């Protein structure tokens, strides 16, 4: 693989950690403050750096990092796609900088955007009503669980205390159901990676509150029996919940509501180009069918008979799940993305998501045991350790896929190139995968050898995190 003698996105060989600013010469600065003496100090030591040194410090740090602005980020299940800058521009407009505690009269433009976004999402998902309050996908799941609980209480079915979750589902499904107070019934997948109807029939009963499902599932496989699944769940008195993590595979082509789902959440960071990760604010809107609309969080946005937009409390609302009306700037970005692309653009995005995944999979030397798939696929590293494969890919300048999950595939390499990557990037990814497939055991065991941080003890790092640079002393 001569093409990768110098990796396209990797740091230069031998590059070392950038020193902390505190490790530079210090300048003592006098402090003059009107605060009480017990809250102040007389002097403070600050790094002594000229502007060029400071600028170069942060540029060097940025060059040692990796993100979607650096190169492809094919984490399966996470949809780490490039976010266009125009959505950031929309959220930064002066007209978008409004305080949420202003009167409804002064918020008409804001409420109009929120009302239209509710409508957009409802039409995309086939849902009758949408709340924008939840601040993340997992928060949307939890909100959906609370809505299901309130519905069953209202229909004298409060005894239903079980939520069924497939074994290959996202971990947040299990956590959301458990946090809602439900017993989680894990549903084993069939040999084809889809829901086993016999296993589902055995799991359903008078205590079933809901089945949480995503379609396509985390293996990238479409649940072909989704209509019988919906019928079975409804016949048992349960609700069908749609995890919207993989919605970018279906945009403009199929709707969860039409499949029989009663509740769903939208991951706007995955599907509608708002930022993903980083610990900052997010959004996880939730859609429901008509019979569940009365349980949505308070407040909800609606248009009055006179044409004005107003906030109101649904009659059997579960209450607030977030401050005010949700994370407004994030919602503006989702609205801008949907409004700019329109129906044809969203359908084109899903077409490219599926095309890119299938094109990349077809180029790989690794085995792909299950299919046909949609926006993502799961390859098997075979005799290689998937974790070693991931670390070695860093040496070829690309971010690795998700590894070791779902466990249905041995040494899983769960890969989602997303709709935003070009053919050239997909070819580079395929070259990196195939180069690693041909590497010997020694190269895999020593990887990564060309990154700023070498192989770390992941278990120790997770159990004993260093949350401050002081811990390095």
What's the average model confidence in pLDDT over 296-319? 96
pLDDT digits (tens, 9 = 90+) for 339-356: 999 999 999 999 999 999
Are the C-beta atoms of 49 and 56 separated by less than 8 Å? no
pLDDT at 8 over 80: no
Residue spans per domain, the chain: 85-340
Are the C-beta atoms of 44 and 31 separated by less than 8 Å? yes
What is the pTM for the complete model shown? 0.91
pLDDT attached to residue 16? 58
pLDDT digits (tens, 9 = 90+) for 392-405: 999 999 999 999 99
pLDDT at 2 over 50: no
Report residue 13's pLDDT band, with 50, 70 and 90 as the boundaries.
low
Tokens of 288: 């429901």
pLDDT at 272 over 60: yes
Tokens of 384: 């290689």
Are the C-beta atoms of 194 and 228 separated by less than 8 Å? no
* Stretch among 75-79, 145-149, 399-403, 467-471 having the lowest mean pLDDT: 467-471
pLDDT at 133 over 70: yes
Q: Measure the CA–CA gap between 379 and 369, rounded to whole angstroms.
A: 7
Residues 6+ apart with CB under 8 A from 309: 104, 107, 108, 111, 112, 114, 115, 301, 302, 303
pLDDT attached to residue 277? 65
Report residue 236's pLDDT band, with 50, 70 and 90 as the boundaries.
very high
User: Which one, of 189, 226, 224, 229, lies nearest residue 208 by Cα?
Assistant: 229
Note the helical H segments in 364-440: 386-395, 423-437
Give the β-pairing of 239-244 and 208-213.
Answer: parallel
pLDDT at 1 over 80: no
What's the average model confidence in pLDDT over 171-188? 97
| CA 15, chain centre distance (Å) | 32
Q: What angle do CA 35, 40, 41 make, to 5 degrees?
A: 145
Q: What angle do CA 87, 322, 293 make, to 5 degrees?
A: 90
What's the average model confidence in pLDDT over 253-268? 97
Report in angstroms the alpha-carbon separations of 57 from 19, 22, 302.
8, 12, 50
pLDDT digits (tens, 9 = 90+) for 45-61: 888 888 998 899 999 98
Mean pLDDT of the residues in the chain:
92
pLDDT attached to residue 456? 84
Q: How far apart are the first and last CA of the chain?
A: 41
**CATH code of the domain occupying 85-340:** 3.40.640.10
What whole-number percentage of the chain has pLDDT above 90?
A: 78
What whole-number percentage of the chain has pLDDT above 70?
A: 95
Residues 6+ apart with CB under 8 A from 237: 157, 160, 206, 208
pLDDT attached to residue 9? 42
């Amino acid at each position: 693989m001569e093409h990768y003698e110098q990796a396209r996105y990797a740091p230069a060989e031998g590059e070392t950690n950038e020193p902390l600013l505190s490790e530079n010469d210090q300048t003592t600065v006098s402090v003059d403050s009107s605060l009480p003496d017990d809250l102040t100090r007389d002097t403070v030591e600050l790094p002594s750096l000229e502007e060029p040194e400071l600028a170069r410090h942060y540029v060097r740090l940025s060059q040692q990092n990796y993100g979607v602005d650096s190169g492809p980020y094919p984490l399966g299940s996470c949809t780490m796609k490039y976010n266009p800058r125009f959505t950031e521009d929309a959220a930064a407009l002066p007209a978008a900088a409004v305080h949420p505690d202003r009167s409804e009269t002064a918020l008409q433009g804001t409420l109009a955007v929120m009302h239209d976004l509710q409508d957009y999402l409802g039409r995309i998902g086939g849902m009758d009503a949408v709340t924008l309050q939840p601040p993340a996908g997992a928060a949307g799941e939890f909100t959906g669980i609370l809505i299901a609980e309130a519905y069953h209480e209202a229909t004298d079915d409060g005894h239903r205390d079980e939520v069924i979750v497939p074994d290959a589902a996202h971990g947040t499904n299990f956590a959301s159901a458990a946090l809602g107070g439900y017993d989680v019934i894990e549903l084993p997948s069939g040999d084809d990676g889809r829901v086993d109807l016999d296993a589902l029939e055995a799991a359903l009963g008078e205590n079933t509150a809901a089945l949480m499902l995503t379609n396509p599932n985390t293996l990238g496989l479409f649940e072909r029996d989704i209509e019988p699944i919906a019928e079975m769940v409804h016949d048992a008195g349960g609700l069908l919940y749609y995890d919207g993590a993989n919605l970018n595979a279906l945009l403009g082509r199929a709707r969860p509501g039409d499949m029989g789902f009663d509740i769903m959440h939208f991951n706007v960071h995955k599907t509608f180009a708002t930022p993903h990760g980083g610990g900052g604010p997010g959004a996880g809107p939730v859609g429901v069918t008509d019979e569940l609309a009365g349980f949505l969080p308070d407040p909800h946005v609606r248009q009055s008979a006179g044409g004005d937009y107003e906030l109101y409390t649904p009659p059997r609302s579960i209450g607030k799940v977030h401050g005010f009306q949700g994370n407004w700037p994030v919602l503006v970005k989702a609205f801008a993305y949907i409004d700019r692309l329109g129906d044809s653009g969203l359908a084109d995005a899903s077409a490219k998501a599926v095309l890119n995944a299938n094109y990349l999979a077809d180029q790989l030397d690794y085995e792909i045991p299950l299919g046909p798939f949609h926006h993502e696929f799961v390859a098997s590293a075979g005799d290689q350790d998937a974790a070693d494969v991931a670390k070695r890919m860093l040496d070829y300048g690309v971010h690795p896929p998700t590894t070791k999950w779902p466990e249905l595939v041995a040494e899983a390499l769960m890969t989602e190139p997303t709709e935003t990557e070009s053919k050239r990037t997909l070819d580079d990814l395929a070259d990196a995968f195939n180069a690693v497939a041909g590497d010997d055991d020694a190269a895999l065991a020593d990887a990564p050898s060309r990154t700023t941080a070498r192989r770390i003890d992941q278990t120790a790092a997770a159990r004993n995190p260093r949350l401050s640079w002081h811990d390095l002393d």
